[in-house]
Amino acid sequence: MKTIFQEIGWFVAVGCTAAATHWLGTVACIFVLDIQPFIANFIGWSIAVVVSFSGHYFLTFRHQEKTFLPAVRRFLVISASGFAINELAFIFLLRSTSIPYYWLLAFILVAIAVLTFLFSRVWAFRDTNQKTERV
């Protein structure tokens, strides 16, 4: 039971760091480089995915048996899927509301975090030596 609470604690710390990286990267691209929000969002995610995987691999799920390459592939599937939902929601909400982009992005990042934890814990960082389907 102690491990799940440690994982959640590390997940929150790593997730907040990655989300801050994503958010700051996106906002900086928009503010400094005058890039369209949906393109800046992709750039922010691209930077944050490295922060996120590294933190989860070496901190959050360090107690789980895992192999590096399968974990990378699985995590990228989860992260890219989360980003696809993020991007679609971001574009939709940018066009259909008057809420500032930085608030929309913050809300979406928090919403996607819960799904990312669940899929990372039960799939991305699990033991790849078990007899199950491999991706």
pLDDT band for position 128 (cuts 50, 70, 90): low
> 34: domain range?
2-124
Percentage of residues of the chain with pLDDT beyond 70 = 92
Q: Which of 66-70, 91-95, 128-132 shows the highest mean pLDDT?
A: 91-95
Task: Give domain status of residue 134, yes or no.
Answer: no
- 21: in domain: yes
Q: Is residue 33 part of a domain?
A: yes
- 104 or 119, which is more confident? 104
Q: Does residue 67 lie within any of the structural domains? A: yes
Residue 117: partners with Cβ closer than 8 Å, 6 or more residues away: 8, 11, 15
pLDDT tens by residue, 54-81: 998 899 888 777 788 888 998 899 899 9
Q: What is the pLDDT of residue 21?
A: 96
Residue 129 domain-assigned (yes or no): no
pTM for this model (two decimals): 0.76
Number of compact structural domains in the chain: 1
State whether the Cα torsion 93-95-42-18 is positive or negative. negative
